[in-house]
Structure formats: structure tokens, C-alpha cells
Amino acid sequence: MNVIEYREYESPHAGNFSTEAGLSNKGFEVRVEHAHWSSSGAALIHLTDHCLIRLLLAEAPENAPLSNRGTLSGNRGSCQPLGQTIFIPPGSDFHFKHRACQQKAVICLFDPAAIAPLAAYRWDWEHCITDAMLNLQSNYLQASLRRLGEEVAFPGFASELHIECLMTGIALELRKEFLGKQRDDDEPGKLSRRQLQHLREALDADANDISLRKLADLCALPERKLSVYFKNTTGKTLRQYSAEARVNRAMRLLGDPSLLIKQIAYMTGFQSAAAFSAAFRKAVGWTPEEFRRQRSPGQREAWPDEQNAS
């Protein structure tokens, strides 16, 4: 997971890092890491699209526990002592000054929006960055990070699932601490990200057999307001999106050669194979039969727009 840019700007070869144990999964990476700085210096860490949270497990006894200093403001002259637990939001520049020392830490890199239970929330850290993130005092976070380190170092039954659950709890705790006032439905006249995800999941799963009333209930909105909010949010009507979802489902089903075209037509809510073929060709540019042939090995043909471009 290449989401960290690390650069020493006073002593280029001072830092040496090694991983004792680690696990990488979709949306997050956890590792137990050893850091050794052979001399004092200063460095810059820039995160791209992931968050970083670190728990210091051990430091060489000859150094003070809070020997290193840092800031998220970019003002190198106002560095503060780093706590045992620090958090760096994505897109941040973290400047820190270090002494010659050795450390062992649990490092977690994660994108909350890529962790399934958290995907419906907004994660906008831009307006809440504070140097308080460099000395977190949460016992819950420290205990969770220690447990993560143990699970990565000594994996057991269902370790990946356990780690994902711990990462979810850590992300929610950080949200409560720094994004507690952020609302997911703060744009008037539009659906929240969570409401939109619920609608898309329902329509993608069964676009041909779900009522407007059921969709409205999913979003806790009146039916008329749901239609207006959906158009304001996506630029499409519910009918248009539902039609697209039916065609997308048909495209997936056409990849199964055991299904007849007529079966797929009925499975996607069309009254006849002819109606299905006409709607599919209008949306995709191919008949279902042509689309299935070009998906088959050795049968690749140019798409209609490719033919027009040649």
C-alpha cells in the first residue's frame, strides 16, 4: 500500500524502518514496525488518500518517552512533543523532529470509505485538523491498537475479520472525536450519502420488483420528496436509474452461458424477449446475442463506438 511519502530533509539517511509483522486488506494495512534513527534530524510525512494512526509500543530506555516532536500545521518552529498515540488525516503534511532513537509501534493505514460498514458516511477531515491529533488520550484507541498489533503478530481464527472489526471501531472513535458535528444530510433538497447507497443497493439487486413505497421507506422520506431528492442528487429520475440497473443486471447475467436470452429477459423484469432485446440494444448498442458473443473467448468484436471511430 503506497500511500505515504516520507522524506528526511536534514539527515537524508538517518531513518531505517523494518516490519516485524503485517496484514494488508482492502481499505487498510496494519503492521508492527521498528524505526531506528541513527542521528537527530527532521522529516516530512505526506499522506495521500489514507489515514494513519500509530501507537508507540516501546522506545529505547536511554531516550525520554516523548523525545520526538511534530506538527500538522507545517510550521516547523512550533513542534510539540508527540504522544504515545498519534493520528494523521489524509492529505496532511506532518513535520516532525526526531532524536537518535529506536521505536517499536503499531502502524495502521486505512481509508474509512473503503471499509464496507463505513462506506455510507462522509469523511471530510479538511476542516478539523488540529495538533491535538498528535497526542490522543483515548484509552479505547490505545487498547484497540494494542489488540491489532497482537492479532497481526500472532494471527488466530478469523484474524482478518477480527482486524476489520477493530479497524471499524477505531475509525468510528476518530469520527466521534473529530467529526462529531459533521452531518451526512447537510445539503438541503438532496439525499445523504447513506440514503443514496441504500437506494442503489436495492435497485441494483432487484430493479424490476421494488416499489416506490419501499424505496421511500428505506430513506425515511415521503415518496414525492424521494423522487425530487433523487433527481437533485444524481441528475436522473428513479425510473431512469432503475432502467439502467436492469440493463446492468442483464449484462452480468449474459456472462452465464447456461441462461437463455428469454430467461434473462424475465429475470430482469421484461415482458418478452423482444422487449428485452429492444431495450438492451438501445442502452448498449448491441443486441443481447451480440453482446454475449463478444464476451465469449475468441469472439471479441469492436464495440459500436469503436467501429464508428475507425
Q: Order of strands across the sheet with 80-81? A: 4-8, 41-47, 93-98, 69-71, 80-81
Same domain assignment for residues 283 and 141: no
Q: What percent of the chain has pLDDT over 90?
A: 26
Q: Is residue 307 part of a domain?
A: no
Do residue 85 and residue 121 come from a single domain? yes
Predicted confidence band of residue 144 (pLDDT cuts 50, 70, 90): very high
Are 122 and 39 in a shared domain? yes
| pLDDT surpassing 60 at residue 251 | yes
CA distance readout (Å), 116 to 175, 180, 197, 263: 16, 20, 11, 32
Specify if 203 maps to a domain: yes
Residues 226 and 110 in one domain: no
Let me know if residue 115 belongs to a domain. yes
Predicted confidence (pLDDT) per residue in 148-183, tens digit: 999 999 988 888 888 989 999 999 999 888 887 555
**Domain boundaries, position 240:** 185-245
Instruction: Please count the residues of the chain.
Output: 310
Q: State the pTM of this model.
A: 0.58
Domain CATH number, residue 79: 2.60.120.10
| Distance (Å, whole) CA 48 – CA 159 | 27
Q: Same domain, yes or no, for 109 and 235?
A: no
CA distance 240 to 283: 11
* End position of a domain, from candidates 129, 144, 178: 178
Residue 12 inside a domain? The answer is yes
230 within domain boundaries: yes
Is there a single domain that holds both residue 274 and residue 295? Answer: yes
Which contiguous run of DSSP H or E holds residue 252?
helix 238-253
Residues 109, 24 share a domain? yes
Looking at the 3D structure of the chain, how many domains does it have? 3
**How far, in Å, are 19, 56, 81, 104 from residue 36 at the CA level?**
12, 13, 18, 9
Residue 290 pLDDT > 80:
yes
